[in-house]
Chains A and B, each alone.
Chain A
Amino acid sequence: MSSQFLQFLISGITVGATYALVGLGFSIVYNSSQVINFAQGEFVMIGGMATVFLMAAGAPMPLAIALAVLLAVVIGFALGKFAIEPARGAPVVSIIIITIGASIFLRGAAMLVWDRNLHHMPAFSGSDPIDIGGAALLPQSVWVVGGMVIIVAALQVFFSHARIGKAMLATAFNPLAAQLVGISTRGMLLLSFALAAGIGAIAGILIAPITLTYAGVGIMLGLKGFSAAIVGGLGNPMGAVAGGLVVGIAEAMTAGYISSAYKDAVAFLIILAVLLIRPSGLFGRRESERV
């Protein structure tokens, strides 16, 4: 019984770590631009697909991964530059449609440039499960969770010590004041898109050996990551991480003990519950309307 619980927990934390990374991307972009980037899930897809195809073309895995992340970063930057920046000041709903359009566009491009099939990526360090109290732990799960922890730690250092990280944080708190002290808020917007795209791509690469990857893999992951960001409170990166883990574990437990049929509904039920109790997320700042 407890080995079963442990199995569900492992499964939940692994999936939750992916949601956390995607949610982190939503948060970073939202912080510096007040934009919800619905194309965030596509970077997960780009990371996985690009790695698979670069490896098929003969690149060794580490090189393929580095190039895939670089590709995502460039596309993220371009998205910010050519799609979001020109539309600054448009209503929220228009921006939502632009980013959804971007996600459809990127998916279409992936189907053309690569293909529409499912691809598998070899696990980083074998696929022989490790036995923990009767539950099977995949080495790749360790990579996923470890990768998440490292990225979170690195971001923490970046935001609190690096000059440019502090500038991003300042922009998030008060864009006008940040601009007044000489921070380029435009630059911060582009940087945040590139950074979020890179993190999304890493998530996609880490998870690909477990879930398989294909052009449409980003759709549900994007929505779940958005849920994670909202549960944690938009614009709070650590909140997104907590939100991701909460959603992932709740899903695995539901699938295990209640019904796998409603697994996907759990994330959204949590969202509705959280929003009813705290309309700006668990750890979010309250927004006030300026008249």
Chain B
Amino acid sequence: MKIWDVRTVLGWTVGLLAAATIALGAQAQEPIKLGVFLSATGGAAFLGDPEKKTIELYVEKINADGGLLGRQVQLTIYDDGTKAKEALTFVKRLIDQDKVDLIIGGTTTGNTMAVINEVEQAGLPFISLAGASVIIDPVKKWVFKTPHTDRLAVQKIFTDMKARGLTKIGLLAGSGGFDKSCAGNARALMESEGVEILADETHGAGDTDMTPQLTKIKNTEGVQAFLYCGFGAPTSIVAKNYKQLGITIPHYQTHGSASVRFIKGADGAAEGVRLPAAALLVVDSLPDSHPQKAIASAYKAAYEDGYKEPISTFGGHAYDALFLAAEAIKRAGSLDKEAVRSEIEKTNGFIGVDGIFTMSPDDHLGLDNDSFVMVEVHDGGWKLQE
């Protein structure tokens, strides 16, 4: 099966390329080249995989509807395997070899930060799909992002905790960029928000057992709630270990856990975990008047119909990035890099899955806390909290 599969795939590729060339020949103009690099495998696969599927699905839809500016969108996707070094290699390749007009990607904060220098030097618009606030703060000329920042998440969580009378917390964070940035924001916001961190623990990349750290938090006097800053596989493990140790204080995680894979991986232990997430996650419980309702329902239907698996907010970040870019290209009326960049910056009131984006030269995200909702894991699904 091995060799033959490779050959068949090669055969198909060549055939498709030939077909594509003929199809393109019929088109008068060059295609729009969209470069994408994602972590479809490796530690952040549960974020990168739905992102990849979303982009593939919608680029196909855009092309079926006649493309952008009457031109087809040619998609080049690379999988960086959640390795910053690979991400950088692929971005160089997208810029130098594939000569793309625009880049979307960077599933993790680490992989995004690794390529920022390269993108800034080359000077082409880049929309990141990663969470941490360091990506856009300070503002970089060519760099934008769509997910809510960890800072917004921490604020939302602290507000929710205080409403429940919880002010003394234990904190656990992983060692990735998002994890560190999130924990840093928690420490920075602690005083102004009136929350106290009594236990502050970390775990390493690829750890499969967090019971030692959780045991320490469990045995810290006076802890009223627990916050985990992290994403991907460890989120499930933390929830499992938490239950195993019989810890009962309220458990909070961030939007880094906003995927059913978190719930499934935790094997029932995720029940009761609270996290802030885009409204997409609980779209069915939203009132019809909610501004995201229509667009989020349409996305959910298209994705779940196309891939037969539940949506996650990560795919939503990719959806927003793709359409933010598409709108900007339409407004710019060309692929001139500076024109597209400044049009993205002028995004005003764009209704996306993540919220309503209004960017400015000082704000390359353009979301506020209102578009975040608190959800709780309930019966293996998400339940909207008021």
Do A and B interact directly, with beta carbons closer than 8 Å?
A: yes
- Give chain B nearest CB distance to A260 CB in angstroms: 6
Q: Does A7 contact B (CB under 8 A)?
A: yes
Is there contact, CB below 8 Å, between B212 and A252?
A: yes
Question: Cβ of B93 < 8 Å from any Cβ of A?
Answer: no
Known A-B contacts A211-B208, A260-B201; the reply to A117 vs B215 at CB < 8 A is no
Asked if A264 and B204 make an inter-chain contact with CB atoms under 8 angstroms apart, the answer reads yes
Within the complex, the shortest CB–CB distance from B276 to chain A, in Å, comes to 23
Are A7 and B203 interface neighbours, CB within 8 A?
A: no
Q: Does A122 contact B (CB under 8 A)?
A: yes
Residue from the list B212, B219, B236, B268 in contact with A255, Cβ < 8 A: B212
A15 to B46, CA, bound (A): 26
Contact with A along B25-54 (1 / 0, CB 8 A): 000000000000000111001100100000
Say yes or no: is B297 at the interface (Cβ < 8 Å to chain A).
no
Once the chains bind, are B244 and A138 in contact (CB under 8 Å)?
A: yes
* Complex Cα–Cα for A138 and B41 (A): 30
Q: Are B212 and A117 in contact (CB under 8 A)?
A: no
Q: In residues 217-242 of chain A, which contact B (Cβ within 8 Å)? A: 220
Chain B's closest residue to A265 (CB) is B204
Find the residue from A111, A116, A122, A263 having the highest chain B CB count within 10 A: A116
Size of the A side of the interface (Cβ < 8 Å), in residues, is 32
C-alpha gap A264/B40 in the complex (Å): 26
A209-221, CB under 8 A of B: which get 1 and which 0?
1111010100010
Bound form: Cα–Cα A263–B201 in Å: 14
Q: How far is the CB of B47 from chain A (nearest CB, A)?
A: 12
Q: Within 8 Å CB of B237, what residues of A? A: 211-212
A118 to B263, CA, bound (A): 12
Shortest beta-carbon distance, A136 to chain B, in Å?
5
Residues of chain A within 8 A of B46, CB atoms compared: 117-118
Min CB gap A73→B, angstroms: 20
Q: Which of A1-59 contact B (CB under 8 A)?
A: 4, 7-8, 11, 15
List residues of B (216-245) whose CB comes within 8 Å of A's CBs: 216, 219, 233, 236-237, 240, 243-245
Residues of A within 8 A of B213 (CB): 255, 260
> A129 CA to B211 CA in the complex, in Å?
13
A94 at the interface (CB under 8 A from B): no
CA distance A119 to B236 in the complex (A): 11
Nearest chain A CB to B218's CB is how many angstroms away? 9
Complex alpha-carbon distance, A255 and B233, angstroms = 19
Q: Which residue of A lies closest to B219 (CB)?
A: A4
Q: Which residue of A lies closest to B210 (CB)?
A: A260
B215 contacts A8, CB within 8 Å? Answer: yes
* Of A119, A136, A212, the contact of B244 (CB 8 Å cutoff): A136
Contact of A212 among B42, B236, B246, B268 (CB under 8 A): B236
Whether a CB of chain B sits under 8 angstroms from the CB of A120 is: yes
Is B265 a contact of A212 with CB atoms below 8 Å?
A: yes
Contact A120 B264 (CB under 8 A): yes
A94: min CB distance to chain B, Å: 22
Q: Is the CB of A260 within 8 A of B202?
A: yes
| Residue B141, interface by CB 8 Å | no
CB pair B211–A127 under 8 Å, yes or no, is no
B207 engages A136 (CB within 8 Å): no
Q: How far is the CA of A94 from the CA of B206 in the complex (A)?
A: 29
B268 touches A127 (CB 8 A): yes
The answer to whether A211 and B209 touch across the interface, beta carbons within 8 angstroms, is yes
Residue of A nearest to B236 (CB): A212
CA distance A86 to B202 in the complex (A): 47
List chain B residues, Cβ under 8 A from A147. none
Assess whether B202 is in contact with A261, with CB atoms less than 8 Å apart.
yes
B71 at the interface (CB under 8 A from A): no
Chain A residue contacts of B45, Cβ below 8 A = 116-118
Q: How many residues of B contact A (CB 8 A)?
A: 36
Q: Is B261 an interface residue, CB under 8 A from the partner?
A: yes
Query: Shortest distance in angstroms between A17's beta carbon and chain B's nearest beta carbon?
Result: 13
A256 within 8 A of B: yes
Give the chain A neighbours of B206 by CB distance below 8 A.
Answer: 220
Does B204 contact A11, Cβ atoms closer than 8 Å?
A: no
Contacts of A252 in B (CB 8 A): 212
Question: Quick check: B212 and A256 within 8 Å, CB to CB?
Answer: yes
CB pair B245–A136 under 8 Å, yes or no, is yes
Measured CA separation A158–B175 after assembly (Å): 45
* Cβ distance A193 to chain B, nearest Cβ, rounded Å: 20
- A4-B203 contact in complex given A116-B40, A120-B267, A136-B244, C-beta closer than 8 Å: no
A116 to B40, CA, bound (A): 8
Q: Per-residue CB proximity of A116-147 to B under 8 Å, as 1/0?
A: 11111011000101010000101000000000
Cα–Cα, bound, A223→B348 (Å): 53
B236 touches A136 (CB 8 A): no
Report the Cα distance A86→B206, complex, angstroms: 36
**A263–B204 contact, CB under 8 A?**
yes
Interface bits A237-277 vs B (CB < 8 Å: 1, else 0): 00000000000000010011000110110000000000000
Question: Given A117-B261, A211-B208, do A256 and B41 touch, yes or no (CB 8 Å)?
Answer: no
Tell me the bound Cα distance from A120 to B240 in angstroms. Answer: 11
Contact of A127 with B267 in the complex, beta carbons under 8 Å: yes
CB distance from B212 to the nearest CB of A (A): 4
Closest CB in chain B relative to A154 CB, distance in Å: 27
Contact with A along B181-223 (1 / 0, CB 8 A): 0000000000000000000011110111101110110010000
Report Cα–Cα, A127/B207, bound state, in Å. 20
Let me know if B215 and A263 touch, CB within 8 A. Answer: no
How far is A255 from B172 in the complex, measured between Cα atoms in Å?
14
Most chain A Cβ neighbours within 10 Å, of B202, B216, B266: B216
Nearest CB to that of A8 among chain B residues? B212
Q: Please name the 8 residue pairs, one residue from A and one from B, whose CB atoms are nearest each other, closest first.
A: A211-B208, A255-B212, A256-B212, A116-B41, A7-B215, A120-B267, A136-B245, A118-B233
Q: Would you mind naming 23 contact pairs between A and B with Cβ atoms under 8 Å apart?
A: A4-B219, A7-B212, A8-B212, A8-B215, A11-B211, A11-B212, A116-B49, A117-B46, A117-B49, A118-B46, A118-B265, A120-B265, A131-B246, A136-B246, A212-B208, A212-B236, A214-B233, A255-B213, A260-B202, A260-B204, A260-B212, A260-B213, A264-B204
Given contacts A117-B261, A127-B269, 11 further A-B contacts (CB under 8 A): A4-B216, A117-B45, A117-B46, A117-B49, A120-B267, A123-B267, A127-B267, A129-B244, A129-B246, A252-B212, A260-B212
